[in-house]
Amino acid sequence: MSNPARDGDSKPPRALPELSMKEFSQLADHETLDGYRKYFNQIVGFFVVEDHILHTTQGLVNRAYIDELWEMALSKTIAALRTHSSYCSDPGLVLDLKNLIVLFADTLQGYGFPVNQLFDMLLEVQEQYSETLLKKWAGLFRNILDSDNYSPIPVGNEDVYKKIVGQFPFQDAELEKQPFPKKFPFSEFVPKVYSQIKEFIYACLKFSEDLHLSSTEVDDMIRKSTNLLLTRTLSNCLQNVIKRKNVGLTELVQIIINTTHLEKSCKFLEEFITNITNVLPETVHTTKLYGTTTFKDARHAAEEEIYTNLNQKIDQFLQLADYDWMAPEPGGRASDYLVDLIGFLRSTFAVFTHLPGKVAQTACMSACKHLSTSLLQLLLEAEVRQLTLGALHQFNLDVEECEQFARSGPVPGFQGDTLQLAFIDLRQWELLESIRKSEKIFTVVGVIKGMTKINKI
């Protein structure tokens, strides 16, 4: 009687793969290692027995028979793992599954079975693992940003100070000299976000263990995943905070300060990865971290939002303007709404103390130009067909209030009367007095012609 194990034209039995696939089809419905473990145990048990038979008997099975059976079982196993591992949304489960697959592969490799395809497949699982990590960290970042008070961290004693600088690489000789209590310039989300980035890097490292990868491959894997965390996950979270409707100027200012410090910390993240992988960042083909780009983009978005926010606040105050363009006499002082508006701008720019100089200056100039343009629009709007000399004097008092604000230097760094030039168009109406006739009432058309004439001088 012929032995199927020795007959070259006989096909290996398919009972094991079919049974295994039937068991494996149930794994998609529940995320648990038990099903995977049972599946792998079946295969390992079968091939360990086959290997034992091969080495302890003669003629029952041969190597070609076992190799063909292993190739078929391996192919179906990898296909099943690709399909069903995609259902895992928990990074912890994906990591445990990877460890189980490594144990499965190492065990069978010890019996002489080729397992390179399993390790290649694990690199695909790594991408899925990275995605599950990104989703998890998106939630962590959202919680951190939503719970932050966007105020500098107060420090009451040396222990608290050391704890913060232990979490986040920050050095400031002037701050160190100050007595307690004192404040860090950034809010709590800075050390928390920085710590979570490091935790993400550790989580990436865990997957690379026991995969027989070179240091360069591990370094590349970690850096690519971390770049996704920075440029996609963290960037989106920061942009969402900046763009939400209820964000205030104080929060935007603090976000700019925070992202400035996080940008400076990127070199320490580079060092952190280098210390883990022992691959120098100067090495050829080493992937660079894009953290600086992420934080710069967030900072620029916050700056633009500040300019927009300031203009919207100015518009709200201007809605309270109620000029009597036919008033016979001026009120004797600047309008109440404008005094309140100037007070708001003073207190707002006082908060800009820790902002980069260029940002504070741009915000101040932008606000003054917007105020000037809006006031001029009030004067020239269609409804105002006539105005008295008394109304123009009242308007002049408001312009003088604006100019006084500009002269007071609300933001340091402006040269000469640079900031006052924002109100130059408003000042032109006063020059009209030197060319006006004896009328007490001006037509708006006349004012416009007068300004046009002055513009040509």
What's the chain look like in SS3? CCCCCCCCCCCCCCHHHHHHHHHHCCHHHCCCHHHHHHHHHHHHHHHHHHHHHHHHCCCCCCHHHHHHHHHHHHHHHHHHHHHHHCCCCCHHHHHHHHHHHHHHHHHHHCCCCCCHHHHHHHHHHHHHHHHHHHHHHHHHHHHHHHHCCCCCCEECCHHHHHHHHHHCCCCCHHHHHCCCCEECCCCCHHHHHHHHHHHHHHHHHHHHCCCCCCHHHHHHHHHHHHHHHHHHHHHHHHHHHHHCCCCCHHHHHHHHHHHHHHHHCHHHHHHHHHHHHCCCCCCCCCCCCCHHHHHHHHHHHHHHHHHHHHHHHHHHHHCCCCCCCCCCCCCCCCCHHHHHHHHHHHHHHHHHHHCCHHHHHHHHHHHHHHHHHHHHHHHHCCCCCEEEHHHHHHHHHHHHHHHHHHHCCCCCCCCCCCCHHHHHHHHHHHHHHHCCCCCCEEEHHHHHHHHHHHHHC
Q: Which of 257, 272, 303 is the last residue of a domain?
A: 303
Pair (201, 66) in one structural domain: no
Total number of domains constituting the chain: 3
Mean per-residue pLDDT of the chain: 83
Pair (43, 89) in one structural domain: yes
Pair (275, 339) in one structural domain: no
| Bond into 412 cis (ω within 30) | no
Within a domain: residue 159? yes
Q: Tell whether the model's pLDDT for residue 122 goes beyond 60.
A: yes
Mean pLDDT of 237-257: 91
Mean pLDDT of 197-223: 91
pLDDT of residue 23: 52
Within a domain: residue 5? no
Confidence of residue 211 (pLDDT cuts 50, 70, 90): confident
Q: pLDDT for 370-401, tens place per residue?
A: 999 999 888 777 576 777 778 888 888 898 89
Instruction: Give the rounded percent of residues in the chain with a pLDDT score beyond 70.
Output: 85
Pair (299, 327) in one structural domain: no
Looking up residue 247, the CATH number of its domain turns out to be 1.10.357.30
Domain that holds residue 267: 148-303
Q: Which of 123, 138, 165 is the last residue of a domain?
A: 123
Within a domain: residue 407? yes
Q: pLDDT for 47-85, tens place per residue?
A: 888 888 888 888 788 888 888 889 988 888 888 888 877
Mean pLDDT of 163-184: 92
Mean pLDDT of 28-45: 75
Mean pLDDT of 402-409: 91
Confidence of residue 452 (pLDDT cuts 50, 70, 90): very low
Within a domain: residue 380? yes
Instruction: Give the rounded percent of residues in the chain with a pLDDT score beyond 90.
Output: 45
pLDDT of residue 445: 46
Looking up residue 350, the CATH number of its domain turns out to be 1.20.58.670
Pair (282, 406) in one structural domain: no
Within a domain: residue 140? no
Within a domain: residue 6? no
Pair (106, 183) in one structural domain: no
Mean pLDDT of 226-254: 92
Rounded CA gap, 422 and 365, in Å?
7
Pair (230, 292) in one structural domain: yes
Within a domain: residue 299? yes
Pair (114, 157) in one structural domain: no
Pair (295, 332) in one structural domain: no
pLDDT of residue 5: 46
Rounded CA gap, 394 and 385, in Å?
17
pLDDT of residue 456: 30
Pair (291, 402) in one structural domain: no
pLDDT of residue 451: 45
Within a domain: residue 139? no
Pair (106, 212) in one structural domain: no
Q: Which of 303, 332, 365 is the last residue of a domain?
A: 303
Pair (111, 178) in one structural domain: no
pLDDT of residue 284: 55
Rounded CA gap, 280 and 273, in Å?
9
